[in-house]
Copies of this chain bind each other. A is one copy, B any other.
């Protein structure tokens, strides 16, 4: 079920099946630090996951595997009908999808340490799953993300990514699109292209460049070491990325994650792909990008009460540090 917050115009997803009883919240952490011996994502344990959705295989072995999340936030079987209980209590069925992409058969690795070809396979699988899920016209947006480390909210140590298809477009994405559209109306230009141009001119926050992608620690980063990877040639949706460019993207992503890994001692982080929702995949005003958000500080009462961030490090200082990191 989703409920509409009439004070913020956000939908909230309710997934009570992910927990059991109120008392469960008294245990300090819900994280299962399963060992490889009992890990549902390890080879040989395929029967511990729900039925496989897709995989990449070489001979008898899979290299990347997609399965439904066992505790889904949203499910394909749920209705998408909307209801009103009075004027202000609006809800709808928990229609959507929640999939897990297992990054590797190897339990004890992380995305930063994968070979480039394996990162290509993971990114390719994200794109294939995006395109396949978007065939279901009930889904308005696909959020692709990775939670790396306990502090980033992961519940299983075996490296994996996730996709959640939502039956409503997240308001945050709508806001970004509206702001970029207004900028276009005022200036005739793309906000994201202009921003990237400004960063390339300023140079001091640019972390990596290749022929097709640019990695920048944005001028107004919300957290220390926040990094965006953007295509040089603007596309509104990740779905349009030419598969031939997955390799330069994987190279740059590996470089950024390696700088974080070796420079900051394998920090917890979230990675998300910001991409336009349905109906705006062909927008001229938005540019999809990968956003990497290290979890080095804890948002507290000020951030929750104001929506504003306090960042303890200037992005140009963070970029300078990351550029100096030796990748082993």
Interface residues of A (CB under 8 A from B): 3-16, 18-19, 22, 25-26, 30, 73, 86-89, 141, 143-147, 151-154, 162, 164, 166, 170-173, 175-176, 179-180, 183, 191-192, 194-195, 198, 201-202, 218-222, 224-225, 263-265, 267, 270-274, 291, 293-294, 296-302, 304-314, 317-318, 321
Contact = CB atoms under 8 A, between A and B. Distances in A.
Contacts of A198: 86-89
Contact of A14 (B264, B300, B311): B311
Contacts of A3: 219-220
A310 B220 contact: no
Q: Is the interface of A mostly helix, strand, loop or mixed?
A: mixed
A326 B183 CA distance: 56
A16 B173 contact: no
Nearest to A176: B7
Given A302-B145, A305-B291, A311-B15, A26 B164 contact: no
Given A22-B317, A25-B267, A12 B302 contact: no
A176 B8 CA distance: 6
21 contacts: A6-B179, A7-B179, A10-B307, A12-B220, A12-B222, A13-B310, A13-B311, A15-B312, A18-B310, A26-B265, A87-B194, A88-B194, A89-B202, A144-B305, A146-B301, A151-B298, A170-B306, A173-B306, A271-B301, A273-B305, A291-B305
Given A25-B224, A179-B9, A172 B307 contact: yes
Given A7-B180, A219-B89, A153 B305 contact: no
A192 B12 CA distance: 18
Given A8-B179, A87-B194, A25 B264 contact: yes
B172 A301 contact: no
B304 A270 contact: yes
Contacts of A307: 10, 170-173
Contacts of A12: 220-222, 308-311
A186 to B, nearest CB: 10
Contacts of A15: 310-312
Nearest to A147: B300
Nearest to A303: B153
Nearest to A178: B9
A149 to B, nearest CB: 10
A165 to B, nearest CB: 11
Nearest to A325: B22
A16 B270 contact: no
A96 B312 CA distance: 16
The 3 closest A-B pairs by CB, nearest first: A153-B300, A172-B307, A272-B305
A93 to B, nearest CB: 15
